[in-house]
Amino acid sequence: MSNITTTTIASNATTTFPLDYYYSLFVNPLIVVRFYQIGYPITFLLGFVGNTLSLITFSRLTLRKVSTGCLFIILAISDTLFLVISVFDFVEFGLQIPFYRHLPYNELCRFRTFISSVSQVLSSWTLVTVSVDRWIRARFPYKSGSLCTPKKAFLVVGVILLIDVGLYAQVLTPSFGMLLPGFSIIACGPIIFNTNYLIFYLLYWTIVQILVVSLIPATLMILLLIDIYINVQARKKAVIQPDNTPHETNKSRQQKTLQRQMFILMLTSITIFLLTTLPVAIYKILSPRQKNISFSIISIASIWVGLGWFQTLNYAVNFYSHCLTSTLFRKEFQLQIRYLLGDKRARANAFDLTATVAVRTGYH
């Protein structure tokens, strides 16, 4: 790569510079380096630990027998995959260990961009699927038993993944590779020698990505949440049977509690998604349209990376928000840890434990 040269003409003289010379002109600002050096280790610590604990907790029978719980397992896997691929950014831009000239940079760009993009889309649309799952249970409670099953949840995610992979297969082609190696926000991108793809990518594809990863999922989740809220309020106003009727069995009460707790888990995950992804999505749309962009590229890179780090928290903090907001999740997590530490009695789920206590105390 170092044999590639660029020629410029000035004052009737032709001067040839190595391509590496031009790459060296683009240096990450100190604030960008600090975001990678300080922010990303925090994200990795929270994310790898939290997602692992989420997987352990959602593997409990109480949670994984519900379609929503299975979707949260997929979400934790997808979030972890995004964090794993983000380690490349941390090493190159934070630790400032150059990959260019030491690794096949074009292939590395294709690999990291493909995995990062696919995992982001999968996480976003898994949350949309969770919202649809909750919406069906609220709107069509009598059909939810047949519609909202773990098998169908996995099937829907499988279809999403196929579309996702097909959508981003283009970055695995020779038209995509290194742009400005070592410079954070544009280290990888469309090959400059393919003009048609370069124009398509910069003018259209970036907007498509923002819509697919952030804006469309966010809009759908907000609309579904609003409809769920309206439906719940309408049900509260309707005439319903008292909870102590013979028809209200202990099992049905447990199911209502379980579904309510799943709704809480969904609500906290969606809130985190909206708070962390919308700011960077909006800025990515607005920043390229600023005037005098050549003079503000450093400030754009700094803000872009800062908001990008904030977005990574979406893939790292779900476990902690679940622990804070859901009593069922906390109980299942505690029981699973006790079981893994050798307490075989902790194999019972939280509902079984609650029922046992109720019988022993005579409390029904």
For residue range 176-219, list pLDDT tens digits in order: 998 888 888 888 989 888 888 888 888 889 899 999 999 999 99
Is the pLDDT at 86 greater than 80? The verdict is: yes
For residue range 224-236, list pLDDT tens digits in order: 999 988 887 887 7
d(CA 32, CA 297): 12
**Which CATH code fits 28-236+253-325?**
1.20.1070.10
Per-residue model confidence (pLDDT) at position 190: 92
Mean pLDDT along residues 99-113: 91
Is the pLDDT at 143 greater than 70? The verdict is: yes
> Count of CB atoms within 10 A of residue 105's CB?
19
Indicate left, alpha or beta for 342 from its phi (over 0: left) and psi (-120 to 50: alpha): left
Is the distance from CB of 94 to CB of 40 less than 8 angstroms?
Answer: yes
d(CA 205, CA 166): 14
Per-residue model confidence (pLDDT) at position 342: 83
Find tokens 């503000």 and name the residue. 296
- With the CA atoms of 170, 175, 178 and 184 taken in that order, what torsion angle do they form, in degrees rounded to the nearest 10? -50
Range 17-41 burial, b when 16+ CB lie within 10 A, else e: eeeeeebeebebeeebbebbeebbe
Structure token digits, residue 307: 């908001």
28-34, long-range: CB < 8 A, 24+ apart: 28/93, 28/182, 28/183, 28/184, 28/301, 29/298, 29/301, 29/302, 31/302, 31/306, 32/93, 32/184, 32/301, 32/302, 32/305, 33/93, 33/94, 33/96
Amino acid letter for position 323: C
Domain residue spans in the chain?
Answer: 28-236+253-325
Per-residue model confidence (pLDDT) at position 13: 46
297-306, long-range: CB < 8 A, 24+ apart: 298/29, 300/185, 301/28, 301/29, 301/32, 301/183, 301/184, 301/185, 302/29, 302/31, 302/32, 304/185, 304/280, 305/32, 305/35, 305/36, 305/184, 305/185, 306/31, 306/35
Is the distance from CB of 150 to CB of 70 less than 8 angstroms?
Answer: yes
Mean pLDDT along residues 153-164: 97
> Count of CB atoms within 10 A of residue 307's CB?
20
- With the CA atoms of 304, 305, 307 and 313 taken in that order, what torsion angle do they form, in degrees rounded to the nearest 10? 150
Residue 207 CB-density burial (10 A; 0-12 exposed, 13-18 middle, 19+ buried): middle
Per-residue model confidence (pLDDT) at position 356: 40
In the structure, what pLDDT confidence band is assigned to residue 360 with cuts at 50, 70 and 90?
A: very low
In the structure, what pLDDT confidence band is assigned to residue 12 with cuts at 50, 70 and 90?
A: very low
> Count of CB atoms within 10 A of residue 252's CB?
11
